[in-house]
Amino acid sequence: MPAPHTDNPALSAIALFLDVDGTLIDIAATPEAVSVPAELREQMHGLALASGGAVALVSGRAIANLDALFAPLTLPAAGLHGFEQRGASGVCRRRDAPSTAALEVARGAMLQIARQHPGLLVEDKQFALALHYRGVPQLEDTVLAAMREVAARVGDEFDLQRGKMVVELRPARATKAQAVAAYLEEAPFAGRMPVFLGDDLTDEPAFELVNRRGGLSVLVGAPRASAARARLADVAAVRAWLAELQAQPVAALGRLTAEALEGSGRGDPSRGRPPDLGLRSQVR
């Protein structure tokens, strides 16, 4: 499939990677409660055209779920934290899947935890499983301890991943960093400077990868310890910056790049390193 026409030379120099929940759309009480406004679809479509197609979603959601949210727009997408990936050509690939037995053990154990503690929500993503405690934040320590026990039972087929009010079992050795690295080996992303926007602990591996590749890593949300070198305050700020990126890409990139350089130059301890997550296999 030929790459779309590139309208702006500055945009043709970057590869844009975007987390979804907490970055492009606000986090809702449940994963099913979110929606993508029409203006965001139009904005993403415009950026994809203007950049020659080098815009990808990199999410903890499954690709099928991303497609449903953004329909009729279909973008390159990496789902389940990099376990599955669709390139600009439309070709999809997956990493090795957890065994059916391990999935059944994990699913049963997590459903039992949720039955014991009303307010917890199990999100079944087929090849990944998440336990949400947004409705009962006081159970955070209980959830973390229980999920560590579940992870120990299923062994090396899953990695334990912590996020905002959620703890997830994702397929082992699948990370957003690997997804971004794979995109940077293929057209139209190859040879461009990577720019990654994300809000959560799940995005830290990608921040680190982008930093190593000389790109721009952008944390969305309140300041915290992160490998990201620039920051946007919230989802509204992200959408405003994306609009600026399409209209005045040099200015938009320059503003965040200057912030990144300033932060690294003053030795800000909240930048340039990921947080201590306390869970195994978080960053590869």
Residue with tokens 């449940």: 30
Specify whether the backbone of 173 is left (phi greater than 0), alpha (psi in -120 to 50) or beta.
left
- Spell out a b/e string for 111-138, using b for 16 or more CB atoms within 10 Å of the CB, else e: eebbeeeeebbbbebebbbbbbbeebee
Q: Which residues are catalytic?
A: 19
CB 21 within 8 A of CB 130: no
CB 46 within 8 A of CB 239: no
CB 131 within 8 A of CB 167: yes
Return d(Cα 56, Cα 200) in angstroms, integer: 17
- Spell out a b/e string for 144-167, using b for 16 or more CB atoms within 10 Å of the CB, else e: bebbeebbeebeebbbbbbbebbb
